[in-house]
Amino acid sequence: MDDQAHAARTMWNCLHAWWTWLAKDKRSLAAADAAIRQARKDIDFLAVLPAQAAQAVLKTYFQAWKNCWDGRADEPNFKARFRSVMSVDIPQGRDLQIKRVHRRWGMVNIPKVGRVRFRWTKDLPGGKKANSDNRITGARLIKDGLGWHIAFRVQTLESKPELHQGPEVGIDAGVSLPLALSDGNHQDHGRPPRLPDGSADRDKWLTADEKAKLLGLERQAAHRKSFRKPKERTSNRLRATYTQIRQLRAKATRRAVDWQHKTTTTIAKQYGTVVVEQLNITNMVKSAKGTVEEPGKNVKAKSGLNRSISQEAWGRTVTMLTYKTARQGGTLHKVPASNTSLRCSACGFITPGSREDQATFVCKNPDCGWSGNADHNAARNILHLYRMGHALIPAAGRAVVRRPRGVKPVTAR
Ligand SMILES: [Zn+2]
């Protein structure tokens, strides 16, 4: 599988080099297709990749350009060996031959690998249930620190859910609370105390023992690295330590995603209308750093905040909330992030200045003087903005009947 993934990455890099080198009028899908076929004939290690997976690389590459032109992403770039996620696509579902062999295990055909066993975690439309509306349309294999994972693409027909009659709620990706709700509830996961530089503990999903182990491994890696001479290969011992570090990190990520899934499901079931702030995380990271001529102020504190926002993976939470509320018949609304952390939710008075690092909000209006949790205050302001009609994208009435349903893997980009 590793060979296939390396070949897929190399295919991407070759394709990108070829595409950007080619004159604009010569660029076409057919030419790219022919080039890929030729590359698979000429280069032995590229032939390891099944023909369909190679075509999937081309498709993903074109999608990357489309995402760029539509403003959703930056330009596609080369994929570095140690920084990119290893993955192989199986674009067609008909050859998979999925069979359940045990309560917890299934078998699947992987091209050029053969029949492999996988952990059965969710029911798949197969056997007697499979038809043109309910079927598996493909799969994707992804590697993380703990090994290879398979995610099936599934197409199912679902009846339109009834309109959710639940209450409205504003949610803030808090600084002191991971998710603060406007009705005073919050979804916590026992976050350990903040570090002296204001950043959140990045290994908060690990137990004390695991953290101690991780620290030991990181020290060991640093020690072993200190013996490495320039241009020398990474020793097997150092590589083994890196693997152990990766495994612990992958474990932490899994726990984080599990918490996100459970939390967003609870929220989608409980509330009919969910309101969140429109946050552009990439822009926030960029603005904190500033430019060379105009370096950003307070970079360290801001990067700490950014890190904790990125860590909570706010974007992923919003994505989950979007499809989960839709499935429950509810709606998700986004409001512009303006003064939500500075405004008093009791009287509407805006206290100027930054107050990103305080857990308690104290109103500066002499007639009010309200004080309370800063994240709940922001969540109430978000709901207030929605009620005043500031919602950005009205998601109401967007009933998606035919929707591919599958568990998004932890490592999905
Ligand atoms: Zn006030």
Angle (CA) 333-160-172 rounded to 5° is: 20
Q: In this structure, what token pair is assigned to residue 290? A: 């500033």
Q: Is 382 left (phi over 0), alpha (psi -120 to 50) or beta?
A: alpha
267 Cα to the center of ligand 1, angstroms: 28
How many whole angstroms from 169 Cα to the centroid of ligand 1?
21
What count of Cα atoms within 13 Å lies in the side-chain half-sphere of residue 121?
A: 10
Separation of 64 CA from ligand 1 center, angstroms? 47
User: For residue 93, is it left (φ>0), alpha (ψ between -120 and 50) or beta?
Assistant: alpha
365 Cα–ligand 1 center, Å: 6
Tokens in use for 211?
């953290």
- Over its C-alpha atoms, the chain yields an Rg (Å, rounded) of 24
| Contact in structure between 321 and 362 (CB atoms under 8 Å) | no
CA distances from 96 to 107, 121, 207 (A): 9, 17, 38
Give CA angle at 38 (412, 48), nearest 5°: 50
How many angstroms separate the CA atoms of 39 and 307, rounded? Answer: 41
What is the whole-number distance in angstroms between the Cα of residue 361 and the centre of ligand 1?
A: 10
Q: Which residues contact 309 (CB under 8 A, 6 or more apart)?
A: 173, 279, 281, 284
Cα–Cα nearest to 378, from 187, 190, 198, 184: 184
pLDDT of residue 365: 81
Tell me, rounded to whole angstroms, the distance of Cα 298 from its chain centroid. 27
Cβ atoms of 155 and 404 closer than 8 Å: yes
Are 392 and 334 within 8 A, CB to CB? yes
CA distance 382 to 339: 10
Contact between 339 and 351 under an 8 Å Cβ cutoff? The reply is no
Asked if residues 262 and 268 have their Cβ atoms less than 8 Å apart, the reply is no
Amino acid at 314: W
Pick the closest to residue 91 from 141, 137, 133, 124 (CA basis). Answer: 137
Q: How far is the CA of 356 from the centre of ligand 1 (A)?
A: 18
Distance 375 CA to ligand 1 centre (A): 15
Distance CA 337, CA 21 (A): 42
**Who contacts 243 (Cβ-Cβ below 8 Å, separation ≥6)?**
145
Distance 374 CA to ligand 1 centre (A): 12
Separation of CA 352 and ligand 1 centre (Å): 13
pTM of the model: 0.73
Give the pLDDT of the chain (413 residues) as one tens digit per residue.
999 999 999 999 999 999 999 988 888 889 999 989 998 999 888 989 999 999 999 999 999 999 888 877 788 999 998 888 899 999 988 888 888 899 999 999 999 999 999 999 888 886 666 677 788 899 999 998 899 999 999 888 888 888 888 888 988 876 666 778 888 776 665 544 343 333 345 556 788 888 889 999 999 999 999 998 888 888 999 999 999 999 998 888 888 788 888 888 999 999 999 998 876 544 444 444 444 444 444 444 444 444 444 545 677 888 899 999 999 999 898 888 777 888 888 888 887 765 655 678 888 888 887 888 888 888 888 899 888 887 775 444 333 333 334 444 444 33
Residue 373 C-alpha to ligand 1 middle, in angstroms? 13
d(CA 214, CA 203): 9
Q: How far apart are CA 97 and CA 139, in angstroms?
A: 12
The string of DSSP codes covering 198-232 is SPPPTTTTS-HHHHHHHHHHHHHHHHHHTTPPTTP
Calculate how far, in angstroms, residue 35's C-alpha sits from the geometric centre of ligand 1: 66
Query: What residue ranges in 354-411 does DSSP mark as E strands?
Result: 360-362, 371-373, 402-404
| Identity at 316, one-letter amino acid code | R
Q: What residues flank ion ligand 1 with Cβ within 5 A?
A: 344, 346-347, 349, 363, 365, 368, 370
Greatest Cα pair distance in the chain = 79
